[in-house]
Structure 1
Amino acid sequence: MSTDSAAILDLGFTERLSVVRAAIEQRLDELLPESGNERDLVALAMRDSALAPGKRMRPVLLMLIAQGLGHEGTAALDLGCAVELIHAASLVLDDMPCMDNASLRRGKPTVHLKFGEDVAILTAVALLSRAFGVIASIADLAPTIRTQLVELAANAVGMQGLVRGQFLDLRDGQHSRSAEDIAMTNDLKTGVLFGAIVDMAWLISHGAENARAPLQNFAMELGQAFQMYDDLCDGCSDTGKDSGKDLGKSTFVSVYGEEKVKAQLHLHLANAETHLRQVFNDVHMIEGFMAMVFKKRF
């Protein structure tokens, strides 16, 4: 284990999480340097969208899982930041007038309102490009591993993941949907990227083969829980984004009501923790982080 990794593990939960988050913020800032040109709106919008204060759930999760699997080095940090860039790009596109037509994101005006729709589209493309460039250039990984990581990211973004999920949500969300259809859309919108995250952590850590399936099951349960949490928060006014965007939309909340969805959310979290314990003896960091993400309201 590297000296830095050992030092992090010696810290308590709050301190370790603070160290991980600080490393992510610093690396994101390095990966998206200021251009020094106030007319370079795309560069400004990239930093504005990716560096805006957020939970950093995806990169933190990747790093914690990789650490739990014994990973050493900085590959997990760069991978986590690449995933955060992909996530930021998806939010820029989700907020566009042709999609969710949102005005707030993380407590700030959305990119298309602040910089224009043309800049927003170019920003999303540039963030995705930067993300794949980061993954492909991680120096301390074998070329075959880097290729697999790029493929994982590409599948998570494309028609097997975010793009298809967003399309189904836009086109079918305004109509009555079965629970199975809603769950499938949620998997594509959220679960598939979580699945890529745990697979990335497993790959760079040379994890045992029998750990891969439980980690994937953990990711899918977490994805469903997170999407339900997001739907439950839609009516809240202090989330940093527009409220009421799901009105008239077919979601688990609209179909089953808040109380049943809250119960199902907790079941998904319990299932996620069960799968996690099949892989790790000590899960207090990951479980503690999950509790922080979900405990605010439900």
Structure 2
Amino acid sequence: MTDIKSYMEEKLLQFEPYMLDRVQLLQAPDSLKEAMAYSLQAGGKRIRPMLLFAALETYGQDAEKGFDAACALEMIHTYSLIHDDLPAMDDDDLRRGKPTNHKVFGEAVAILAGDALLTYAFEMVASSKLYSAEQAVKLISMLAKAAGPSGMVGGQVADMEGEQKALSIEELEYIHHHKTGRLLAFSVMAGAFIGGADEQDTKRLETYARHIGLAFQIRDDILDIEGTEAEIGKPVGSDESNEKSTYPSLLTLEGAKLKLEQELDSAHEALASLNRPAPLLKAFADLIAKRNS
């Protein structure tokens, strides 16, 4: 059985300083770099970079080859959180128990720190010495699609428009597949691409990624009911108080748990059909099922 926690701890010791060094090396105002680094260091398990490394290692490549793509991915994820927390959007004061970026640095710098992380993400990949020119162009295209209007940003808009409305399961899945799932899917697909996965395995991993993306969000919705504020980093029951459609609200809590099991079963089936064993990716699916943050 793969010890996924030890794997993540080991990779974090290597990846975290690498990512923060990329910010400190920038030729930019110190105040901007400080704001960028503040949110990058806000915590979390780095699930997205870890999935990228796991996919890469499934195809016999060292995780370090994915570091620049993983930095770009985490920078885009972080920029989205900075902007989500702003008064014009979710108006949050805390993120994982720490004051949100705009509470520390002011709204203007927070907006610009998010902008800087978004644009620097693409510079990271474009200037990387880890990838060929062809690989860099492909990764940039994949990341832009995952993060942009047909991906995360489009999902965020659909999420805002769906507030205080009774959504269907199909509408809810659209939101989460785009808002959360597309970046999670990029993690897996980028690792597979850099690792040299063939066309068949790429399609199977895309299926795996889609199912774990939905599983991730379903688990988040369940934790909003059953978790604690310390576990989830936000007030428990905030989805209900904000009148958001969730899997438990549409399917009942037990129905949401059943849906979670179904998504994870489908993810495991996709992995079982790969041309090679993928114990790390299997362990990540299991971790999502049990995660408490």
TM-score (ref. length: structure 2): 0.90
3-state SS, counterpart of residue 229 of structure 2 = coil
Return the offset for 1:14: 4.6
Q: Partners in 2 of 1:250 and 1:165 — Cα distance?
A: 14
- The 5 A counterparts of 1:147-226 are 147-226=137-216
Who is 1:46 aligned against? 36
Out of 6, 16, 21, the residue aligned to residue 25 of structure 1 is 16
What is the aligned partner in structure 2 of residue 3 from structure 1? none
Q: Distance in 2 between matches of 1:12 and 1:244?
A: 32
What is residue 276 of structure 1 aligned with on the other side?
271
Q: Aligned ranges for residues 1-298 of structure 1 at < 5 Å?
A: 13-33=4-24, 40-72=30-62, 74-235=64-225, 236-238=228-230, 239-247=232-240, 248-279=243-274, 281-296=276-291
Moved more, 109-118 or 53-62: 109-118
AA at the equivalent of 1:243: V
Aligned length: 287
How far did residue 281 of structure 1 move? 3.7
Alpha carbons 1:162, 1:193 under 8 Å: kept: yes
- The letter for the 2-side match of 1:237 is E
Q: Relative contact order (alpha carbons < 8 A, sep ≥ 6): 1 or 2 greater?
A: 2
Given the superposition, is the C-alpha separation of residues 60 and 173 from structure 1 closer, same or farther in structure 2, using an over 3 Å criterion?
same
Percent identical pairs in the alignment equals: 32
Offset from partner CA, 1:38-83 (integer Å, 9 cap, x none): x843221111101222110000000011110122473312211211
Q: What's the C-alpha RMSD, in Å, of the aligned pairs?
A: 2.3
CA distance in 2, matches of 1:71, 1:166: 34
- Contact 1:173 / 1:251 at 8 angstroms: preserved in 2? no
Instruction: Specify every segment of 5 or more residues in structure 2 that has no aligned partner in the other structure, as ranges.
Output: none
- 2-structure distance, mates of 1:144, 1:165: 29
Query: What's the CA shift for 1:294?
Result: 3.2
Distance 1:153 1:296 in 2: 25
> Which segments of 5 or more consecutive residues in structure 1 lack a partner in the other structure?
1-10
Q: Quick one: which amino acid aligns to residue 234 of structure 2?
A: K
